[in-house]
Structure 1
């Protein structure tokens, strides 16, 4: 599994209705995209839970072929044409799990990025993060959760989809506008090695 996200931070006075309309009219285009496990169309609006307006879709890819087909095809070019070329962040998948609300359509998501301290062995940090991810996956209202790592920057990423409002937790909270999940069942439960 590969996790990918780009963040498009928008002006403070930006009409987020534009993004909502974009997702409502185009989101379905990836509902059958080969190799895509999940695409969560995420936004943050400036206010109580966010300092910025942001469109920040997050993808869980089964294999790099699907991710490459998207990045080098017409899908990503639409983002580039409309917003410029954003930095694409990507992480190697460590685990994926369905939660007790897996049959529900999620409304919110959380993302927490955490550095792996140089004083901690990478394998120990990953094992601890896996335990935390298992706990998150069992939380009431959890639809699905993924754990990934960026070994270039030694950073862990915890991502969870929630049936209702995301619980208070470290990291960013997002509203989910649409969920494409053509190959969700192929992401594979549990540890990815």
Structure 2
């Protein structure tokens, strides 16, 4: 599984209604996208949830790298680059992804953690996978994921939740505009091995 995430800063005076309308227009396409577990359409607004600026963002969990590649080469990213320009797309390998018991995601929380240089990687991976499985069983969890960036040696923790998550200073909270979930229900459920 591949996690892909990008964010576009939006000027304070930009009409956020345009972003909401674009999401509403594009969401049905993503609701049936093959090889996609989910796509979260997210919007941070300046002054809310610690945001200093407006930011439109998308977070994906792809089933296979070829599906992600096909989306890129078919022009799927053009809908974003035309109005907002080209942002870096952060990609991660998913170490574990679990469907929780909650259904209606309202928030995403993301957190990046550096993996210490001298860490035992096997043990670190095992700890993060175990932690992710503990988060997945919480009653407000829709999806819990942990990924790894092996270029920068960081873990990325992702939580989609029905309620505003409890966070620390390194966590970014993203209110969701829409969650397209074509294959989300096929993810392993919390508590499954």
Q: Please indicate, yes or no, whether the TM-score normalized by the shorter chain is above 0.5.
A: yes
Tell me what 2:160 maps to: 161
Deviates more, 1:54-63 or 1:68-77: 68-77
Change (3 A) 1:140 1:189: closer
What is the Cα deviation at residue 189 of structure 1? 5.2
Alignment partners' CA distance in 2, 1:85 and 1:64: 21
CA contact (8 A) 1:5 1:88 kept: yes
What is the Cα deviation at residue 188 of structure 1? 4.3
What is the Cα deviation at residue 140 of structure 1? 2.5
Cα-to-partner distance string for 1:100-132 (whole Å, 9 max, x where unaligned): 21xx22111111111111121222221221122
Alignment partners' CA distance in 1, 2:13 and 2:139: 35
Give the structure-2-normalised TM-score.
Answer: 0.90
**1:14-163 to 2 correspondences below 5 Å:** 14-49=14-49, 50-101=51-102, 104-163=103-162
Tell me, what secondary structure is at the counterpart of 1:176? strand
CA-atom RMSD in angstroms: 1.6
Tell me what 2:173 maps to: 173
Q: How many matched pairs? A: 188
Alignment partners' CA distance in 2, 1:99 and 1:187: 9
Alignment partners' CA distance in 2, 1:167 and 1:87: 28
Tell me, what secondary structure is at the counterpart of 1:164? coil
Cα-to-partner distance string for 1:30-51 (whole Å, 9 max, x where unaligned): 1111111110111111114112
What is the Cα deviation at residue 27 of structure 1? 1.5
Alignment partners' CA distance in 2, 1:108 and 1:185: 18
Alignment partners' CA distance in 1, 2:116 and 2:16: 37
Alignment partners' CA distance in 2, 1:2 and 1:9: 23
CA contact (8 A) 1:35 1:65 kept: no
Tell me, what secondary structure is at the counterpart of 2:77? helix
- 4+ aligned runs moved over 6 Å, structure 1: none
What is the Cα deviation at residue 185 of structure 1? 3.5
